[in-house]
Amino acid sequence: MTARKLGLSAGAKHASPLARSRQIAARRALIVPIWRSPGRWHCAPACILLHPPTVDLRNRYTLITGASSGLGREMARIIARRHGGHLVVAARRRDRLEELTRELRDETGVDVVPLEVDLTSPEQIESFFERATSQRTIDAVVLNAGVTYFGHAVEQSLASIQSMLATNVMSAAHLATRFGKHFIAKGQKAHMLLVSSMASLAPMPYQALYGGTKAFLTNYGQALRYELSRHGIKVGVFLPGGIVTEMTELSGISKIHGSGDVGMMEASVCARFAVDALRRGSAMSIPGASNHIMAAAMHLPKALVIPFVERLYRAGVDKK
């Protein structure tokens, strides 16, 4: 693209390559980050446009856990439709995975491999890892599967506590370790994205355990990034705010925040940010302008933030 087309100054032609690419990026940042989906305007933070993608997903395999619904399923759709990427999609509900596989294979011609796995079982994770990696090269991994509980912490059943810790914490650490070792052994410059949450930024009354599991993921993912970066592996954490999915509907969170409310994102919109974060190998990424404002507010003194969240969420818990 010429300097004139990008509207750069005449002197830009003689600028150093770094200065020139910064000018081009800054120019694009002014053009690209605002778009409209039905009924809403969206604005991407300009900074994501200053970091060009470092992995091309086309004709490469991306593995996504939790791809049978919500954010994971929308990410799979974007990777197949927009980027021509092959997929390994994983979850417990095989029928949902097969439906998605048929949809994406027919529509785009990419290869989609559905793998059924219950991530609360370490044995199943091991066999899942073998099945996923034995016949293909995986270049990107999205550890997205997660469960929540919305209610009084002392009323959460032991089964629910165990299942949440196993899914959100144990399976993510298990798979991140397995894939990390695998990529190092193969000398692969792969990308890994851990789907955490803005709930990881402050203690969350009535989502106490969930917030704790996500705080683990945010912390763990960032530490892992520094350990693996010298092998050329890019680990990132993705911190969405509210997304309109089964999770918010079934847990009762939709009683306080529903579709169309400020701070609630459609899954397909959130997935665009997540796929961008994966392709760019971003260290930590928060989708959308309103979530950025909320994230900044969550860094206020905890004595202000926690009582506010408690009051807001108590209203939702009382409505359940």
- Residue number with CB closer to ligand NAP (111 or 116): 116
291 binds ligand NAP, rule: CB under 6 A: no
Q: Is 20 exposed, middle or buried (0-12, 13-18, 19+ CB in 10 A)?
A: middle
- Residue number with CB closer to ligand NAP (85 or 240): 240
Binding mask 115-154 toward ligand NAP (x if CB under 6 A, else -) reads --xxxx-----------------------xxxx-------
92 binds ligand NAP, rule: CB under 6 A: yes
Cα atoms in the Cβ-side hemisphere of radius 13 Å centred on 302: 6
CB of 100 to ligand NAP, least distance (A): 10
Report the DSSP pairing between strands 40-43 and 34-37. antiparallel
Q: Dump the DSSP string for 24-76.
A: HHHHHHHHSSEEEETTEEEE--THHHHS--S---TTSEEEEESTTSHHHHHHH
- Residue number with CB closer to ligand NAP (190 or 270): 270
Q: What Cα–Cα distance (Å) separates residue 154 from each residue in 91, 150, 165?
A: 29, 11, 16
Which of 63, 87, 91, 140 forms a contact with ligand NAP (CB under 6 A)? 91
Strand partners, 88: 63, 113
Which of 23, 62, 68, 218 forms a contact with ligand NAP (CB under 6 A)? 68
70 binds ligand NAP, rule: CB under 6 A: yes
- Residue number with CB closer to ligand NAP (23 or 144): 144
Q: What Cα–Cα distance (Å) separates residue 44 from each residue in 29, 53, 196, 294, 304?
A: 9, 15, 19, 15, 28
255 binds ligand NAP, rule: CB under 6 A: no
Binding mask 8-27 toward ligand NAP (x if CB under 6 A, else -) reads --------------------
Please give the helix or strand (H or E) that residue 269 lies within, else none: helix 267-280
* Site residues (vs ligand NAP, CB under 6 A): 66-72, 91-93, 96, 117-120, 144-147, 167, 195, 197, 240, 242-243, 245-248
